[in-house]
Structure 1
Amino acid sequence: MTDDTTLPRAKFKRVLLKISGEALMGDQGYGLHPPTVERIAREIKSVHDMGVEICMVIGGGNVFRGLQGSAQGMERTTADYMGMLATVMNALAMQSSLERMDVNTRVISAIRMDEVCEPYIRRRAVRHLEKKRVCIFAAGTGNPYFTTDTAATLRANEMRCEAIFKGTKVDGVYDKDPVKHADAKRYETVTYDEVLQQHLGVMDASAIALARDNDLPIIVFSLDEAGGFRGILNGDGTYTRVHG
């Protein structure tokens, strides 16, 4: 029998992981790249194995982005609902990968589609987390004009998560695009107000304001770094903490 004192201890008990739909594309320009979905699922499993309760929100930009559809002449409400349906597709793909790794997972949709996923009922979702099931919240808030960033912050507050982990392509928040500027400076910590005032692009303004009003920290880290998610929960790794 393994001595519990030898197991790694996580800094958080319950967290929400927010990733973009584009993170599931891999090197493709569109859609789902199954090996990439599987790689991210392994990262989630490694944290789940530590005993951390995990919920997720995945964007839909790899399939359809409502704002872009609206910009091309489509009616905004219709475009946003199409984007919400795209998030359900991504959530089901992630659920499939996680359950192949023996991680019990529930997809919970803000828009009812009972044949493929559960409707969002807060107390039921909390119970799933208590039973160590990964909960993937899909279809945003169920309303047009709200992004998945806002949905992630809303659900994290409702689930009483201790932090939002925002997985990106870079290892934190920078004062300018580090891909384009070699002299870009990474912040160790940054306040909600600084993110808003300097337009640092961590999340949209509504999501940042909701996190600020509920004192919910946001951890921005690189999803491309193997073991990065688990490392931060162990107190290691490179990231930026957004706080009050």
Structure 2
Amino acid sequence: MHRPKYKRVILKLSGEALAGDRGFGLDTDIIASISEYIKEIRDLGVEVAIVVGGGNIWRGRSGKGMDRTTADHMGMLATVINALALQDALENYDIPVRVQTAIEMRQIAEPYIRRRAVRHLEKGRVVIFASGTGNPFFSTDTTAALRAAEIEADVILLAKKVDGVYDSDPITNNDAKKFDSLTYIDVLQKGLKVMDSTATSLCMDNGIPIIVFGLQDPENIKRVVLGEDIGTYVKEDRKC
């Protein structure tokens, strides 16, 4: 059996990834498939924490004419819906799961408490972080970077619709060039759409590597954890 390269990971799932081809709402088949591979890496002894987005239901910037803080709070609630759906799917595979929210809602989830989250991970439970950071004007990318620093994760696994980072949009430009590796400074200076600048800077300051890979095949989650060279690796130095 292959040994995993990482002991503790943050898996960042966009809301769109949970919607599948429909682009909106929840695709239960996709969620079940993702859950299956999360189970596989957990069974390898990897401690798994997940940050979910909410773009399949609502984005803060979607609220034209709406107060930005209110719109962002609505987006945070959308991430809770996704977190509960993912929790249910994981529990169907007999995986113990805890959802922790940055906005307190005790009836349906635990409040985010760093020490409790770490203890859950040590006990083999999957922890899903919802509600973003609990603050408006911060993305779930920033949440992933912040939580990764707090729980001392080895890496952020950034699952996207495309199979890595390109110099332009590969969907609209057939000549787009894919990067195998980048530094944090590359991402910031070139304005590459890996994470937003706040999240990238936070990863750079704390030396947290980021692997961007495609989720068209959910098995890629397992392949990345086992150290296969797929996607784009973002780190401090290309020689690392």
TM norm. shorter chain > 0.5: yes
Q: Does 1:38 align with 2:38?
A: no
Indicate conservation of the 8 Å contact 1:228/1:237, yes or no.
Answer: no
Aligned counterpart in structure 2 of residue 239 of structure 1, from 225, 228, 231: 231
* 1:90 match: 82
Q: Distance in 1 between matches of 2:23 and 2:87?
A: 22
Deviations 1:188-242, CA, capped at 9 Å, x for gaps = 1101111111111001000000000001000001111242111122222411110
Range with bigger deviation, 230-239 or 19-28:
230-239
Deviation at 1:63, TM superposition (A): 0.7
* 2:51 match: 57
Q: Distance in 1 between matches of 2:80 and 2:218?
A: 26
* 2:128 match: 136
* 1:155 match: 147
Deviation at 1:172, TM superposition (A): 1.0
Mapping 1:40-189, distance limit 5 Å = 40-69=34-63, 72-189=64-181
Q: Distance in 2 between matches of 1:206 and 1:89?
A: 25
Structure 2: segments with no counterpart, 5+ residues: none
Q: What TM-score do the two structures reach when normalised by structure 1?
A: 0.94
Amino acid corresponding to residue 123 of structure 1 in structure 2:
R
Deviations 1:127-165, CA, capped at 9 Å, x for gaps = 000001000000001111111000110001101000000
SS of the aligned residue for 2:21 comes to coil
Q: Does 1:14 align with 2:8?
A: yes
Deviations 1:68-87, CA, capped at 9 Å, x for gaps = 21xx1010110010000000
**Count of aligned pairs:** 236
Indicate conservation of the 8 Å contact 1:17/1:167, yes or no.
Answer: yes
Q: Distance in 2 between matches of 1:206 and 1:41?
A: 29
Range with bigger deviation, 233-242 or 7-16:
233-242
Structure 1: segments with no counterpart, 5+ residues: 1-6
Q: Percent identity?
A: 54
Deviation at 1:8, TM superposition (A): 1.9
Mapping 1:21-32, distance limit 5 Å = 21-32=15-26
Q: Distance in 1 between matches of 2:5 and 2:155?
A: 10
Amino acid corresponding to residue 82 of structure 1 in structure 2:
M
Indicate conservation of the 8 Å contact 2:54/2:75, yes or no.
Answer: yes
Q: What TM-score do the two structures reach when normalised by structure 2?
A: 0.96
Provide the alpha-carbon RMSD of the alignment: 1.0
Indicate conservation of the 8 Å contact 1:163/1:219, yes or no.
Answer: yes
